């Protein structure tokens, strides 16, 4: 197993990409502490599934935009798991609207969650990684942070910010044996997409851009995250890796 005896923190682990990531990390031997915001039933189910694999699992309700709550999650992870070697910043949100109609609240909330939330968890984890001279940080961004998307200036800007954050962080922490990378998904079939009234339209538009004519699944991203969290990726840092079926190109 790639991650035996490793301990991971994953934000937003109760649905979609987060759930797939938590499960794949556990399959490879990791114990996991993950956050959720509102889907408690789903979070407890994921926790129980990990425990059934013989791994330790902790789920913590958290608004990742809160600096103090993020600190509490990391403190809980260290207490319950014994240490932390892996951080996956995954939780995020969108609140779409064209720029000339977007409210200040729409802009601020997306930035608070998608960008500040990543800082909050990294800020409380980096000192631990630095002290132990080991750590893996994987940030989930988006191809729309690379190219922008109509109606998503706030979301695209936040995801572009994560890219800059990842590269700067890799430079700061590399000397301490810490790898920092980001994964940039294209269209992934999460619960949000499955229940969207515009599902077919969204898929048709994405398919028109994709080289591989298939809709991405959460596991497609989770498998890469597991690799980047392992020592097989020990010489990779500061990279933004697209998982999009060729949608960006």
Q: What's the chain's length in residues? A: 249
The one catalytic residue among 118, 134, 155, 248: 155
**C-alpha–C-alpha distance, residues 166 and 228, integer Å:** 14
**C-alpha–C-alpha distance, residues 38 and 149, integer Å:** 27
Rounded to 5°, the CA angle 165-183-134 comes to 65
**C-alpha–C-alpha distance, residues 151 and 100, integer Å:** 10
Identify whether 155 is a catalytic site residue.
yes
Three-state DSSP class for residue 242: strand
Q: Output the 3-class SS for 145-183.
A: HHHCCCCEHHHHHHHHHHHHHHHHHHHHHHHHCEEEEEE
Three-state DSSP class for residue 240: strand
Task: Give residues with Cβ within 8 angstroms of 197, minimum separation 6.
Answer: none
What amino acid positions are annotated as catalytic residues? Answer: 155
């Amino acid at each position: 197993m790639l991650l035996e005896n490793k301990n991971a923190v994953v934000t937003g682990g109760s649905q979609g990409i987060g759930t797939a990531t938590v499960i794949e990390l556990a399959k490879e031997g990791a114990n996991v502490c993950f956050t959720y915001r509102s889907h408690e039933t789903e979070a407890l189910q994921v926790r129980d599934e990990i425990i059934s694999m013989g791994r330790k699992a902790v789920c913590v309700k958290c608004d990742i935009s809160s600096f103090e709550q993020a600190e509490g999650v990391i403190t809980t992870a260290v207490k319950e798991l014994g240490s932390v070697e892996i951080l996956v910043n995954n939780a995020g949100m969108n609140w779409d609207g064209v720029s000339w109609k977007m409210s200040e609240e729409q802009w601020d909330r997306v930035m608070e969650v998608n960008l500040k939330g990543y800082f909050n968890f990294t800020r409380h984890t980096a000192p631990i990684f630095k002290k132990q001279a080991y750590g893996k940080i994987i940030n989930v961004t988006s191809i729309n942070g690379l190219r922008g998307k109509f109606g998503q200036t706030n979301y695209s800007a936040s995801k572009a910010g994560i890219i800059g954050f990842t590269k700067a962080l890799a430079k700061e922490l590399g000397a301490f044996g810490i790898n920092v990378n980001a994964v940039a998904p294209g269209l992934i079939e999460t619960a949000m997409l499955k229940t969207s009234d515009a599902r077919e339209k969204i898929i048709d538009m994405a398919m028109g851009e994709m080289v591989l004519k298939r809709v991405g699944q959460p596991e497609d991203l989770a498998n890469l995250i597991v690799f980047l969290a392992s020592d097989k990726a020990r010489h990779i840092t500061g990279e933004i890796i697209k998982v999009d079926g060729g949608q960006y190109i």
